[in-house]
C-alpha cells in the first residue's frame, strides 16, 4: 500500500490518486494528514503538499486539487525527460510538474467546461483541446506519467521492486460496433425504398438500383448484413465485442430502420444472445434525458434485461449534462469519450475511469470507456487509405500496449461490409483482429 501525506484530503485528490495508483498501477493507496502516521509508515509513501517533511519522495502540489469550481488556468507545457507535462513546480528535478493536477485537468475534461468554439454538430472539437494543440493527443499521457512515476517509486523503494513489477496489468482490447444503419436496402418500407430508387436513378447509379432489387426479393444478402461474420470473428479471435443499437425515431441524422420493425427486433435479440449490447442514443438526445430514457426502454423491452451501456450517436456529449442524465438513467458504462474528427485519447488516458462531476465535485458511478479511433474518422475526416488507417490503428495499439492499457475501437457494420463508399475497407477489421490477437 502507498501512503500519501497531504495537508488536505479532497474529493479531487482522492479521485485522481486512485485513478493513477489503483486503476493504472494496481497499487492500493491511502491518505493521511497526520505527520506522525506518515513518518512511522514502513511501506511505500509519498508527500504531496507545499513543502517536504524531510527527505521523503515528494511532489510539490499546485492548487487545482484543493479548490472547487472552474476557473481559467495558466498552462505552460514543459518537458519531463522528453515527455510533455504541465503545472510546473520547479522543485524537483525528478518530477518538474504536478502530474496529479495535470492528470485531473485532463481526465475531468476541465477544458470542456470553459468557453470554447463548438463544431457544426455542437461538439467540443479536438482542435480546442490542449492535447491536440500540443501534439500529444495520440498518446495516453496520464498512463505514461503513471508508468514513469512507478519507475520513480522503484528507485526510491528498491526493496519493493519485485512487488511493484508483479502488479502490472495486461493489455486489453474491446471492439465496439455501432449499428447506425442496420441494412442498406432491407426493411426500409415502401416510401424510403422508392425514394432511394429515384435518388439512385438521379445519380445514374444503376448498380444500386439493381442491387436493391436483388436484396428486396431475397436473391442476395443485404450488403450491411455483416452480423454473422462479426459474431464469427468475435468467437474466432476471442475478442470482447459490444454492439450499440440506434433506436431513435427517424430524423435527418437518425436514419436506421424503425425500432418497431419485427426483423430489427429479432436481429437485436439474436446478437444479444452472443455478445454484449448497449443503447446508441439518437442525435437529439444529447441534452434530452426523456428521449434517452425512451430509447433505453425500447432496447430493454426487446432484450428483456437492463441496459447499462451507452454511446451517443455522432458522439454528441455536452459535459456535464449528458453524463448527468446517463447517471440518472442508471447507465454504468459510457463509450463516447473520443473525437469524431481525430483519433487519439480525448481524456489522455487509455484506462476506463469514473466521470468526475465538476458541478457537484463528486465522483459518479458512471464509468467512461475512452476509445482511441473510429473508422469514419480515418476515412471521412482524414481521408486515409485503408492501408494508412490500418497502420494508424496499430500505432495507437502499440502506445496502449506500452502502458498495458485498454484499446477501444469503433467500427460500423457498414465499414466491415466494404460496400458502397467503404469499398476497399472490408478486410481492415479482420486484419486488425489478427494483429491484435498476437499480443493479447
Say whether pLDDT at 193 is over 60: no
pLDDT given at position 327:
98
**Per-residue b/e over 303-320, b at no fewer than 16 CB within 10 Å?**
beeebbbbbbbbbbbbbb
Say whether pLDDT at 206 is over 90: no
Dist. CA 348–CA 32, nearest whole Å: 28
* Mean per-residue pLDDT, 247-258: 92
pLDDT given at position 83:
95
Pick the more confident residue, 12 or 208.
12
Give residue-wise pLDDT tens across range 238-248.
999 999 999 99
* Mean per-residue pLDDT, 35-55: 92
pLDDT given at position 196:
57
pLDDT given at position 198:
56
Percent of the chain with pLDDT over 70: 93
Which has the closest alpha carbon to 1: 49, 16, 17?
17
Q: pTM for this one?
A: 0.94
Percent of the chain with pLDDT over 90: 81
The set of cell numbers assigned to 68 is: 472547487
pLDDT given at position 288:
96
Place of cell 497499487: 27
CATH architecture for residues 172-184+222-437: Alpha-Beta Barrel (3.20)
pLDDT given at position 110:
98
**To the nearest whole number, what is the mean pLDDT of the chain?**
92
Say whether pLDDT at 217 is over 90: no
Say whether pLDDT at 263 is over 70: yes
Say whether pLDDT at 148 is over 60: yes
- The total of other beta-carbon atoms located within 10 Å of residue 426's CB is 18
Beta strands in 7-95 (DSSP E): 29-32, 44-49, 58-60, 78-80, 83-85
Contact 224, 181 (CB under 8 A): yes
Domain assignments of the chain as residue spans, ordered by start: 2-115+141-165, 172-184+222-437, 194-220
pLDDT given at position 190:
53
* Mean per-residue pLDDT, 353-375: 98
The size of the chain, in residues, is 440
Query: What are the Cα distances from residue 223, in Å, to 79, 88, 425, 433?
Result: 50, 54, 13, 21
Say whether pLDDT at 398 is over 60: yes
Reported as a pLDDT band with limits 50, 70 and 90, residue 186 is: confident
Contact 80, 91 (CB under 8 A): no
Dist. CA 375–CA 411, nearest whole Å: 5
Reported as a pLDDT band with limits 50, 70 and 90, residue 287 is: very high
- Which of 198-202, 217-221, 241-245 is predicted most confidently? 241-245
Say whether pLDDT at 157 is over 80: yes
Which letter does DSSP use for residue 335 in this model?
-
The set of cell numbers assigned to 231 is: 459474431
Reported as a pLDDT band with limits 50, 70 and 90, residue 54 is: confident
In this predicted structure, which of 78-92, 312-326, 425-439 has the lowest mean pLDDT?
Answer: 78-92
In this predicted structure, which of 161-175, 345-359, 413-427 has the lowest mean pLDDT?
Answer: 161-175
pLDDT given at position 251:
92
Amino acid at each position: 500500500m502507498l501512503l500519501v501525506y497531504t495537508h488536505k484530503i479532497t474529493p479531487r485528490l482522492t479521485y485522481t490518486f486512485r485513478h493513477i495508483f489503483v486503476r493504472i498501477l494496481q497499487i492500493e493507496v491511502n491518505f493521511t494528514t497526520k505527520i506522525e502516521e506518515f513518518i512511522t509508515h514502513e511501506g511505500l509513501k509519498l508527500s504531496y503538499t507545499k513543502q517536504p517533511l524531510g527527505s521523503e519522495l515528494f511532489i510539490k502540489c499546485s492548487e487545482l486539487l484543493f479548490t472547487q469550481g472552474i476557473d481559467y488556468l495558466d498552462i505552460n507545457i514543459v518537458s519531463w525527460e522528453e515527455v510533455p507535462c504541465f503545472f510546473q513546480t520547479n522543485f524537483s528535478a525528478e518530477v518538474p510538474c504536478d502530474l496529479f493536477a495535470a492528470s485531473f485537468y485532463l481526465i475531468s475534461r476541465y477544458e470542456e467546461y470553459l468557453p470554447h468554439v463548438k463544431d457544426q454538430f455542437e461538439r467540443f472539437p479536438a482542435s480546442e483541446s490542449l492535447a491536440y494543440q500540443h501534439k500529444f493527443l495520440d498518446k495516453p499521457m496520464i498512463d505514461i506519467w503513471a508508468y514513469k512515476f512507478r519507475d520513480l517509486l522503484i528507485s526510491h523503494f528498491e526493496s519493493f521492486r519485485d512487488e511493484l513489477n508483479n502488479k502490472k496489468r495486461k493489455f486489453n482490447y474491446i471492439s465496439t460496433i455501432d449499428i447506425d444503419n442496420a441494412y442498406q436496402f432491407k426493411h426500409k418500407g415502401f416510401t424510403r425504398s422508392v425514394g432511394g430508387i429515384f435518388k439512385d436513378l438521379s445519380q445514374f447509379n444503376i448498380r444500386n438500383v439493381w442491387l436493391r432489387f436483388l436484396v428486396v426479393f431475397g436473391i442476395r444478402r443485404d450488403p450491411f448484413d455483416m452480423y454473422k461474420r462479426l459474431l464469427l470473428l468475435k468467437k474466432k479471435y476471442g475478442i470482447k465485442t459490444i454492439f450499440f443499437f440506434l433506436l431513435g425515431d427517424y430524423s435527418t441524422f437518425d436514419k436506421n430502420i424503425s425500432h418497431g420493425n419485427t426483423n430489427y427486433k429479432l436481429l437485436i435479440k439474436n446478437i444479444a444472445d452472443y455478445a454484449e449490447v448497449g443503447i446508441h442514443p439518437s442525435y437529439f438526445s444529447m441534452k434530452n434525458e426523456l428521449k434517452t430514457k425512451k430509447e433505453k426502454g425500447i432496447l430493454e423491452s426487446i432484450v428483456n434485461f437492463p441496459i447499462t451501456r451507452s454511446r451517443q450517436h455522432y458522439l454528441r456529449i455536452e459535459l456535464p449534462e449528458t453524463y448527468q442524465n446517463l447517471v440518472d438513467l442508471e447507465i454504468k458504462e459510457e463509450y463516447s469519450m473520443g473525437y469524431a474528427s481525430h483519433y487519439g485519447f480525448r481524456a489522455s488516458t487509455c484506462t476506463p475511469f469514473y466521470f468526475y462531476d465538476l458541478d457537484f465535485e463528486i465522483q459518479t458511478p458512471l464509468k467512461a470507456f475512452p476509445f482511441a479511433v473510429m473508422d469514419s474518422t480515418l476515412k471521412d475526416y482524414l481521408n486515409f487509405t485503408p492501408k494508412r488507417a490500418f497502420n494508424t490503428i496499430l500505432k495507437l495499439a502499440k502506445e496502449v500496449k506500452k502502458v498495458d492499457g485498454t484499446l477501444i475501437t469503433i467500427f460500423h457494420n457498414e465499414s466491415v461490409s466494404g460496400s458502397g463508399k467503404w469499398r476497399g475497407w472490408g478486410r481492415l477489421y479482420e486484419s486488425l483482429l489478427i494483429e491484435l490477437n498476437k499480443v493479447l
